[in-house]
Amino acid sequence: MTPTVRARLGTVLAAAVPVVFVAVLFGYPVAAIVGRGLAPEGTLDPEPLRRVFTDPALRGVVWFTVWQAALSTLCTLVLALPGAYVLARLRFPGRSLVRALVTVPFVLPTVLVANAFLALGVSRSLGAILLAHVFFNYAVVVRVVGTRWRNLDPHEAEAARMLGASRWRVAREVTAPALRPAVVAAATITFLFCFTSFGVVLFLGGPTRTTLETEIHRQTTRFLDLPLAAALSVVQLAAVLALLWLVGRSERRAATPARLRAAREIEHAPRTPGAWVLLTANLLVMTALLLVPMAVLVVRSLTPPSGFGLDAYRALGDLRRGSTLFVPPLEAVGTSVRYALAAATIAVVVGGLAAWAGARSRSRWLDGVLAVPLGVSAVTLGFGFLIALDEGPLDLRGSAALVPLAQALVALPFVVLLVGPVLRSIDPRLREAAAMLGASPGAVRRRIDLPIAARALFAAGAFAVAISLGEFGATTFVARPDAPTLPVVIARLLGQPGEAAFHAAMAASGILMVLVVVAVVVGDRARVGRFGDF
């Protein structure tokens, strides 16, 4: 077998792992639930699909879902891109903590965030939906775009400036094309999250605003109309596939290679008054938009009816102790951490293989395949797990392994988005030189690819841990009653009457925030020998 054939076979095998993973844990369950809804007797019934496109109310739901997601994405990009630059390029005291705190909103339960916004005087409206979507997705832009910006070689921009180009021209013709793949990826993921938004619309939109996600939930749980819910899921999935196809096609035509350098060679303290103004303005935006709502939750956890203190945290160990669903809070924390570590490991391994295969083949179709699950209703996916994964050879419904597998499915796209650009930026001449010196393909990957991509892998792993810690949609369907995660415990507490249970839910959210901050800070600072310096 020639080296070229061996390399191609390795790329195919690396791509096969994530494809099979997504097919088994996403394609099969979704096909099962959609088939159960649209063909209950084994014969396809097109009537529910016809209703989606002929019923004016349902057409209005589809249209509102699309345009509110597009507007939310635009608002998120406008507010988060400057923050991505600040956290990627400017070195200042407490930057790691700020980067970690910015990540926390992404994993908070929507009902608590909605409560925080309402407590701040934000009324139920379209504006509240947009504000909450920016709150949740700010971290996506900062992480995806900031990771590329952090390693983007500034020499080309400096050379253009020396040749007389203005700052705006450099930004438009040099920096923007180099950042475009990351910006498009962040915008796509943000749109998918807003397109499938459930809790934000339900709690902050008011009774007159409905998206596909909330309508699927309503038809499934309130009216038990599984055929219509399946039809809405098909429309949702078709829209997601169309979006990913258009994005992939435009990126193939406009792909711009970019040179990357080690972040420590690029980061610098603010040097000019303008840089200080930019830093200060963005820190104020982050404080007002992200930290103030989180501070409301923390204050409420510390101010139960008994007065200021830690009583709400102590109550976590006492509330409904005799209930059959009671689980000691420390046990729930330990369960969440174990699941998150397992899910992050799976996501980094599978996503790392996908990123490597995509970089080697110079193709981005895998990115689209792995992003599809983000655009499908958690209700659809959760019911699909229960229906499809209950018999051999995929009898996973009663297995604890299903929880980290489901969480890894959600984290996978982010691993690919964070690691893929770094692997694509590696100069192929480095690999060729190593091969000419006698290094085997495995040695090239260990000595060149892995050291350069290690920092991105650490950051992706930390983000995957954070995502897994806060994942609720699919987890609530597959987690065993005696082994809940923290978000499930929070949901149980919010479902109980009385102020004590409400403040205990706030306390559990405070614990969740601390876990996320620790995970992100550790991931940002992680080093193993020479791995992680890039």
Q: At 337, list the tokens.
A: 């951490």
Query: Which SS3 state, helix, strand or coil, does residue 382 take?
Result: helix
Lowest mean pLDDT among 162-166, 422-426, 430-434, 481-485: 430-434
| Residue that wins the pLDDT comparison between 359 and 89 | 89
The pLDDT assigned to 212 comes to 86
Closest listed residue to residue 231, CA positions, set 208, 212, 211, 245: 212
When divided into structural domains, the chain yields a total of 1
Query: Is 427 a member of any domain?
Result: yes
What CATH number is given to the structural domain containing 236? 1.10.3720.10
Query: Is 144 a member of any domain?
Result: yes
CA dihedral sign of residues 262, 187, 136, 222: negative
Percent of the chain at pLDDT above 70? 86
Residues forming a β-bridge with 152: 260
The boundaries of the domain holding residue 27 are: 3-525
Q: What does pLDDT average to over the chain?
A: 81
Query: Residue 194 CB: number of other CB atoms within 10 A?
Result: 28
- Residue 67 CA to residue 59 CA, distance in Å, equals 13
| Residue that wins the pLDDT comparison between 480 and 262 | 480
| Residue that wins the pLDDT comparison between 347 and 248 | 347
pLDDT in tens, 60-79: 999 999 999 999 999 999 99
Percent of the chain at pLDDT above 90? 14
* Average of per-residue pLDDT across 477-495: 80
Query: Is 488 a member of any domain?
Result: yes
Looking at the predicted structure, is the pLDDT value of residue 1 above 60? no
The pLDDT assigned to 427 comes to 65
| 339 confidence band (pLDDT: 50, 70, 90) | very high
Query: Is 265 a member of any domain?
Result: yes
* Average of per-residue pLDDT across 452-471: 84
CA dihedral sign of residues 55, 60, 63, 69: negative
The pLDDT assigned to 325 comes to 59
Place of tokens 């499930």: 488
- Listed in sequence order, the residues at least 6 apart from 276 whose beta carbon sits closer than 8 Å to its beta carbon are 270
Instruction: State the pTM of this model.
Output: 0.82
Residues forming a β-bridge with 260: 152
Closest listed residue to residue 355, CA positions, set 413, 428, 409, 406: 413
* Average of per-residue pLDDT across 214-240: 81
| 259 confidence band (pLDDT: 50, 70, 90) | low
Looking at the predicted structure, is the pLDDT value of residue 81 above 90? yes
- Residue 108 CA to residue 472 CA, distance in Å, equals 9
The pLDDT assigned to 239 comes to 86
- Residue 32 CA to residue 108 CA, distance in Å, equals 30
pLDDT in tens, 8-44: 777 788 888 999 999 888 888 888 877 877 777 777 7
Place of tokens 């938004």: 197
Give the number of residues written for the chain.
534
- Residue 43 CA to residue 8 CA, distance in Å, equals 42
Query: Is 297 a member of any domain?
Result: yes
Query: Is 513 a member of any domain?
Result: yes
Query: Is 534 a member of any domain?
Result: no
Query: Is 533 a member of any domain?
Result: no
* Average of per-residue pLDDT across 99-109: 85
pLDDT in tens, 275-316: 899 999 999 999 999 999 989 888 888 887 777 888 888 777
User: H helices within 90-224, ranges in order?
Assistant: 95-103, 110-119, 126-151, 155-162, 167-170, 176-195, 199-204, 212-221
